[in-house]
């Protein structure tokens, strides 16, 4: 999420402005490429870490295109249960499944004439990826439970926070879908790589939250706060910056934000402290403590890895049975397996049965 400047939303603007705060050369280049792609109907793949502003760039593409007056529809493919995602995307006919009391259009139909953003498209199950590939190739859909083919007239903007070639190697993303989605890839740089944007973004956010919270004039950042914002690494990108600004706007005194109002922290595991012992006993205590100085998250992660590996072996690689043994949904299991493979953990071969 970069940040949208609502004050300039209605006015035509040079690239990098059109409702956006993006002053760094890196973002100016991304937006110029996005603007050019927007003049055609080419599918666009936006890549970048979580929180960098992929939906904001998607909306920029839509506003910059001949489809600007038509709908912009966004759907997070990772946030919808696997069993509901197909019907949500393609729509369904009355009686297609239990509870389908009347027909309903899906996101593809809702976006007709405009732009459909498929957020985190790489989190789709393999079977649904195959159906998406066919839709992209044929430019038509069938509702769940229906037989009528519905022609599509829209642009697809897909996003992912994964490295796509690695996702293909890991079996997370179909290779044929990778090539279909990667016609026009754009990487949005993380906030730490475009520090020229940090203070303009912060200023715009302060104005927004001052109005939202009824604070009167927008709080100002003092020199120390500016320096702190500029030097922070921003692992959560613009989303983290927005959280920090929102909190500091509320906490600051007399309309001035200081370093202490920002609460910027680097979270590290701190070893527990113990009363000092005599020198000999202290050395023995340190030696005894060394092998078990691990944080709780690491212990839990190790236990989870072992439980998943054991369940996979006991289920002979069946992801369905493994999920049942672990008491989690198949979708949750799939996400956990993806994270383990990304971390280089060796797991038994799996299948969908």
The domains located in the chain, with CATH, are 6-189 (3.40.50.300), 192-262 (1.10.8.60), 296-342 (1.10.10)
Average pLDDT over residues 65-80: 95
pLDDT confidence of residue 291: 42
pLDDT confidence of residue 284: 47
More confident site: 207 or 298? 207
Determine the Cα–Cα distance for residues 307 and 322; give it in Å rounded to an integer: 10
Lowest mean pLDDT among 77-81, 138-142, 292-296: 292-296
Instruction: Kindly report, residue by residue over 93-110, the tens digit of the pLDDT.
Output: 988 888 888 889 999 999
Residue 277 above 90 pLDDT?
no
More confident site: 100 or 283? 100
* Contact between 333 and 322 (Cβ < 8 Å): yes
Average pLDDT over residues 75-83: 89
pLDDT band at residue 298 using 50, 70 and 90 as cut-offs: low
Lowest mean pLDDT among 11-15, 147-151, 191-195, 222-226: 11-15
Q: Where are the beta strands (DSSP E) in the chain?
A: 44-47, 72-76, 115-119, 140-142, 149-151, 155-160, 185-187, 220-221, 256-257
Average pLDDT over residues 3-29: 58
Determine the Cα–Cα distance for residues 119 and 327; give it in Å rounded to an integer: 27
Residue 42 above 60 pLDDT?
yes
CA count, 13 A, side-chain hemisphere, 307 = 14
pLDDT confidence of residue 271: 38
Continuous segment of H or E residues that includes residue 128: helix 126-138
* Contact between 80 and 221 (Cβ < 8 Å): no
Determine the Cα–Cα distance for residues 103 and 91; give it in Å rounded to an integer: 8
Residue 319 above 90 pLDDT?
no
* Contact between 63 and 109 (Cβ < 8 Å): no
Which one-letter DSSP state was computed for residue 77?
Answer: T
CA count, 13 A, side-chain hemisphere, 338 = 22
Determine the Cα–Cα distance for residues 322 and 302; give it in Å rounded to an integer: 18
Residue 161 above 70 pLDDT?
yes
Q: Would you state the torsion angle of the CA atoms of residues 218, 222, 224, 227, taken in this order, to the nearest 10 degrees?
A: 60
């Amino acid at each position: 999420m970069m940040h949208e400047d609502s004050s300039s939303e209605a006015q035509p603007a040079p690239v990098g402005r059109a409702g956006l705060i993006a002053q760094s050369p890196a973002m100016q280049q991304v937006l110029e490429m996005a603007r050019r792609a927007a003049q055609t109907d080419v599918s666009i793949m936006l890549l970048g870490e979580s929180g960098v502003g992929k939906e904001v760039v998607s909306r920029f593409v839509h506003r910059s295109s001949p489809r600007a007056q038509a709908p912009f529809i966004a759907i997070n493919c990772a946030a919808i249960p696997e069993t509901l995602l197909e019907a949500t995307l393609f729509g369904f006919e009355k009686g297609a499944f239990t509870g389908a009391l009347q027909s309903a259009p899906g996101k593809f139909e809702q976006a007709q004439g405009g732009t459909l953003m498929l957020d985190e498209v790489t989190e789709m199950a393999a079977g649904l990826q195959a159906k998406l590939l066919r839709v992209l190739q044929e430019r038509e859909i069938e509702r769940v439970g229906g037989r009528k083919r519905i022609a599509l007239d829209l642009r697809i903007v897909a996003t992912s926070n994964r490295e796509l070639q690695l996702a293909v190697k890991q079996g997370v993303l179909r290779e044929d879908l990778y090539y279909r989605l990667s016609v026009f890839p754009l990487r949005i740089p993380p906030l730490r790589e475009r520090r020229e944007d940090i203070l303009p973004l912060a200023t715009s956010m302060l104005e927004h939250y001052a109005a939202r919270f009824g604070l009167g004039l927008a709080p100002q950042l003092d020199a120390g706060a500016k320096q702190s914002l500029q030097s922070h690494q921003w692992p959560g990108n613009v989303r983290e910056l927005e959280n920090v600004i929102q909190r500091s706007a509320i906490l600051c005194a007399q309309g001035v934000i200081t370093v202490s109002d920002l609460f910027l922290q680097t979270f590290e595991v701190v070893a527990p402290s113990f009363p000092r012992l005599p020198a000999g006993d202290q050395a023995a205590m340190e030696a005894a403590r060394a092998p078990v100085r691990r944080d709780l998250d690491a212990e839990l992660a190790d236990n989870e890895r072992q439980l998943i590996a054991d369940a996979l072996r006991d289920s002979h690689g069946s992801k369905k049975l493994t999920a049942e043994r672990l008491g989690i949904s198949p979708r949750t299991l799939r996400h956990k397996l993806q994270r383990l493979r990304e971390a280089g953990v060796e797991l038994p071969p799996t299948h969908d049965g």
